[in-house]
Amino acid sequence: MGRPPRELRPGCHFARLAGPRPAQSTTMAKLYFYYSSMNAGKSTSLLQSSYNYRERGMNTLILAPELDDRYGAGRVKSRIGLEAVATTFARSDDLFQAVSACCAEAPLHCVLVDEAQFLTKDQVFQLGQVTDLLDIPVLAYGLRTDFQGEPFEGSKYLLAWADNLKELKAICHCGSKATMVIRLDANGNAVTEGSQIEIGGNDRYVSMCRRHFKERYYHQGVRADGGLRKTENA
């Protein structure tokens, strides 16, 4: 093994609540992956789930990748105004060791991961170890694909290894379910090249159905017979 795991920043932020420990569950914990395109309410769902545990006298640990500092490091914030403190982690962190360290401080009943698409393959494996060896449910929330339609590393292995897959639905401007995310520059043109991990800047990320993603991304229309036809660059 490499270097020992460093302290996660800014510490293990989980609610410590007085009162009796909840009865031990008889079912094994599971690794859940809640996936969607953007603006489906992933962070809202995460925060609601954490609240539900804490309301029942249980402790939760919210993890968030440190590269997502849109709302300041160590915060998960939803578009409808809910927010909570999160423990940030780096790509090199061992999440099994991190969760184990938190368990040593107080009983932990659920681990929730925001922006789980940014997990590494190793970290998805480590979250599986949390459910299998520590018997703690893990709820991971993330985007399925990037702006090029490619799977994120974290999402690819969560889709492969999670016990339960649940889709959170976003809506395209046409009213269909939006399964894709497109990246638009300041002029509204689709960005087709660049880093998979880029948060902030002037580009906008918009959820679209596959049909409209293809039209914008490839500058192609869809014929009535289902084939693709070339259109002029907008």
> Catalytic residue numbers?
115
Would you say 73 or 168 has its CB closer to Zn ion?
168
What 3-state DSSP class applies to 32? strand
Rounded to the nearest whole angstrom, what is the least distance from the CB of residue 151 to Zn ion in the complex?
21
Question: Which one of 128, 209, 214, 216 is in contact with Zn ion (CB under 5 A)?
Answer: 209
Rounded to the nearest whole angstrom, what is the least distance from the CB of residue 169 to Zn ion in the complex?
13
Count of positions on this chain that bind Zn ion (CB under 5 A):
5
Would you say 75 or 211 has its CB closer to Zn ion?
211
- Stretches 60-68, 74-82, 103-111, 173-181: which one binds Zn ion (CB under 5 A)? 173-181
What values do phi and psi take at 222, rounded to 5?
A: -115, 120
Rounded to the nearest whole angstrom, what is the least distance from the CB of residue 211 to Zn ion in the complex?
6
- Interatomic CA distance for residues 30 and 162, integer angstroms: 8
Hey, which residues between 147 and 166 contact Zn ion (CB under 5 A)?
none
Which candidate, 108, 102, 127, 100, places its Cα nearest to that of 116?
127
- Interatomic CA distance for residues 52 and 37, integer angstroms: 24
With helix as H, strand as E and coil as C, how does 200-231 read? CCCCEEEEECHHHHHHHHCCEEECCCCCEEEC
Q: Is residue 176 at the binding interface for Zn ion, with CB under 5 A as the rule?
A: yes
Question: Which one of 62, 172, 181, 190 is in contact with Zn ion (CB under 5 A)?
Answer: 172
Q: Could you tell me where the beta strands, DSSP code E, fall in 50-179?
A: 60-65, 75-77, 83-85, 87-89, 110-113, 138-143, 164-167, 170-171, 177-178
| Residues in the chain, total | 234
Would you say 38 or 67 has its CB closer to Zn ion?
38
Rounded to the nearest whole angstrom, what is the least distance from the CB of residue 185 to Zn ion in the complex?
20
Rounded to the nearest whole angstrom, what is the least distance from the CB of residue 163 to Zn ion in the complex?
31
- Interatomic CA distance for residues 82 and 102, integer angstroms: 24
Question: Which one of 28, 174, 199, 234 is in contact with Zn ion (CB under 5 A)?
Answer: 174
Q: Is residue 212 at the binding interface for Zn ion, with CB under 5 A as the rule?
A: yes
Would you say 201 or 221 has its CB closer to Zn ion?
221
Burial label for 134, CB within 10 Å (0-12, 13-18, 19+), is middle
Binding-site ranges for Zn ion (CB under 5 A): 172, 174, 176, 209, 212
